[in-house]
Chains A and B, each alone.
Chain A
Amino acid sequence: MARESLGFEITELRLGLPGEPKSLVSTNKNEKKRMFSEIDGNGDNEKKSNTGGNLKTTESKAQVVGWPPVCSYRKKNSMNEATKMYVKVSMDGAPFLRKIDLGMHKGYSELALALEKLFGCYGMGEALKDPENCEHVPIYEDKEGDWMLVGDVPWEMFMESCKRLRIMKRSDAWQIERTYIEIDEIKEKNV
């Protein structure tokens, strides 16, 4: 499989053998900026407004206190065990890991905002839209132990498969990338 330009090879990070089929990969993978436009429009609302707009709409729904009149006991106990999806989030350079409940968010843009708030790393939303120019890149470990770029798959699929999150410095991503290229090259040589 031909490699993309270097900036997007981070998406090729795999711990599995090269060539193994990945059912999680979305179909228009080969588009240069695909994951970011997907994040913007896929898991979230159909509106293609900017992140802030989306969030405002969803947030303002929840902001009227006590409406709809569902009693707080019912609200608390209606959460399915499955919807309490706390995952660890680490950020390179931050001394402590944090935990975030994926079930609390409706889509990637909300997640981006939550991560920004947690770590004070502003620009997470932008990172999801324009990876080349961002300092931090969110990646996640899926159920199979592979590290994936956040945003490739539909939000629900992401929620199910995400085991932990990591906010990586772009510069670090290069390091790992290089290691994998080397590993792959070695493997190819040995085939």
Chain B
Amino acid sequence: MKKAAYSFPEEVLEHVFSFIVSDKDRSSISLVCKSWYEIERWCRRKVFVGNCYAVSPPILIKRFPELRSVTLKGKPHFADFNLVPEGWGGFACPWIRAMAGAYPWLEEIRLKRMVVSDESLEIIAKSFRNFKVLVLSSCEGFTTEGLAAIAANCRNLRELDLRESEVEDLSGRWLSDFPDSYTSLESLNISCLGNEVNLLALERLVSRCPNLKTLRLNRAVPLDRLPNLLRGAPQLAELGTGAYTSEMRPDVFSNLAEAFAGCKQLKTLSGFWDVLPSYLPAVYPICSQLISLNLSYATVQSPDLIKLVSLCEKLQKLWVLDYIEDDGLEVLAASCKDLRELRVFPSDPFGLEPNVALTEQGLVSVSEGCPKLQSVLYFCRQMSNAALNTIARNRPNLTRFRLCIIEPRSPDYLTLQPLDDGFGAIVEHCKDLRRLSLSGLLTDRVFEYIGTYGKKLEMLSVAFAGDSDLGLHHVLSGCDNLRKLEIRDCPFGDKALLANAAKLETMRSLWMSSCSVSFGACKVLGQKMPRLNVEVMDESGPPDSRPESSPVEKLYVYRTVAGPRLDMPGFVWTMDDDSALRIS
């Protein structure tokens, strides 16, 4: 290949590229010309695969032979709400096996919503000499035996994070499998484990790892053991407590308070299961240094929450239960001027009546008082267009807005009108909005607003909304940056889907369940768009045993270069070219 006289030698380009870390930029570089593509692929060290079925292990390995870090995501987001049946897919094993062979120097594996077996963990433990980071986020399929293999073999492990995974907890013994000579732990998150770990082993591990910055314990670690752990790691920056309750004894309290005060670098607190309110003051001394506080499991009432929160003047992130109530949010708005992210979770999501005095007013207060607020997740039982309008005007800098009004199809409680205008104001004023979740009574009009104004929108979640295909059409045709669209229980059907088929190739994925998309339309889509996998899920039997016009239970469409997947369970059918042959 001719090299232009002015081009840099490969080594120089490689060196320059090494400063480009963002995936998007790397991708752009690789498109400049063939030689840049080649150089880039050989020096790419980190890859993010947002949908593990969009590509296959051989394709990845062929293109990027020298990876050190791989991130994979499996199941669709709605799996978090039990909408994806057991056995659907997202199996990590084929990836791990392939990478074990191809990347002996792999250092980091991050998996989200994937099924990971003990066998996979054993392969990881034995295959990568320099393995440093294992993050299993909302994963399942493994037991503490797999963890034992990691502990015993990964001499250079820095991070073991099992956040929100479902682990079959056979025994707490695995922690003792970290050898005494092992001291490189920097981050440990075992908050999802059900049983007690060997506390002595934990204490010894914590105190011999001088770089331990993050420690998130599980519920089973009793409060009276926390002071010892803290004293063993005064350099801790992030702590997740275990159960935050104990017999109320002054000596336990003062021990705890002293231990907390000794952690001068502590910036993040979480855990707080089973909180005994009289123990909360033990953290008061460090509140002024906290930037992140997760109290979303703390079932304490508003007054206790208010006391705590009002001391956290540097707080940037707060996750809390709706026990905080409107009053508490008003205090938050007054005290925490640096707040960037607020998540308010429901304490009684299935109750028929409100159990707390939390309304739209709480969110309005925070939107007024916290100028840096960017990210909101809010569960409540009533909302109005006026409130949404106010929030939108107060906070045009919102980038993530997820509102869940608990009762489906709830109208504006003041006017009984749909909440179209309110959400419309949100998308109109918040020009950098990237993520939006809708709820309440909504017509096609809200989708018109979203299509018109939601130009930066990347992810949209819709439930029990809309009147017709026009709604879906507005979104698919208007939202230029849409990557993920997930819809449930909406009257959207074939027309909008087929009319916007090409759009689907520009997105990561589309989920539609309990909508009105017919089996026939799915087949057409599958046949028309070879670079999409169109998967129909139906637990009541093969979709072709019903008329073509019958709506499918669940539809999951995603772009891929790997063709239809081969690991589908019995209730998933793919609508590709030979779908007719495959089903029968």
Contact = CB atoms under 8 A, between A and B. Distances in A.
A66 B350 contact: no
Given A61-B352, A74-B296, A77-B219, A68 B488 contact: no
A68 B273 CA distance: 22
A67 B408 contact: yes
A80 B272 CA distance: 11
B346 A70 contact: yes
B349 interface: yes
A58 interface: yes
B440 to A, nearest CB: 12
Interface string A32-76: 000000000000010000000000011001101111111111100
Contacts of B406: 68
A81 interface: yes
Contact of B81 (A57, A58, A71, A80): A71
Contacts of A61: 350-352
Interface in A60-104: 61-62, 64-74, 77-78, 80-82
A68 B379 CA distance: 9
B404 interface: yes
A80 B244 CA distance: 12
A80 B323 CA distance: 15
B72 to A, nearest CB: 19
Contact of A45 (B352, B404, B461): B352
Contacts of A66: 78, 81-83, 488
Contact of B352 (A58, A65, A67): A58
B299 A80 contact: yes
B224 interface: no
Contacts of B404: 68-69
A74 B461 CA distance: 19
A77 to B, nearest CB: 6
B299 A67 contact: no
A72 B350 contact: no
Interface residues of A, number: 21
A67 B219 contact: no
A23 B223 CA distance: 33
A142 to B, nearest CB: 23
A68 B82 CA distance: 11
Nearest to A61: B350
Given A61-B350, A81-B243, A70 B345 contact: yes
Contacts of A81: 243, 273-274
B138 interface: yes
B463 interface: yes
A153 B383 CA distance: 37
B119 interface: no
A66 B81 CA distance: 4
B192 A73 contact: yes
A71 B187 CA distance: 24
B82 A65 contact: yes
A68 B439 CA distance: 10
A7 B273 CA distance: 46
Contact of B349 (A57, A68, A80): A68
Interface string B260-286: 000000000000011000000000000
Contacts of B461: 69
A73 B296 contact: no
Contacts of B80: 69, 71-73
Contact of A62 (B81, B192, B297, B350): B350
Nearest to B352: A61
Contact of B273 (A62, A69, A77): A77
A88 to B, nearest CB: 22
Contacts of A74: 296, 345
B164 interface: yes
A67 B81 contact: yes
A45 B351 CA distance: 11
Nearest to A83: B299
A115 B374 CA distance: 49
Interface in B342-376: 345-346, 349-352
7 contacts: A61-B352, A64-B408, A66-B83, A67-B463, A68-B350, A69-B461, A73-B192
Given A58-B352, A70-B346, A70-B379, 12 more contacts: A61-B352, A65-B82, A68-B346, A68-B350, A69-B80, A69-B404, A69-B437, A70-B345, A71-B80, A71-B164, A73-B166, A77-B297
Interface of A: 45, 57-58, 61-62, 64-74, 77-78, 80-82
Closest 3 CB pairs of A and B: A66-B81, A71-B80, A73-B164
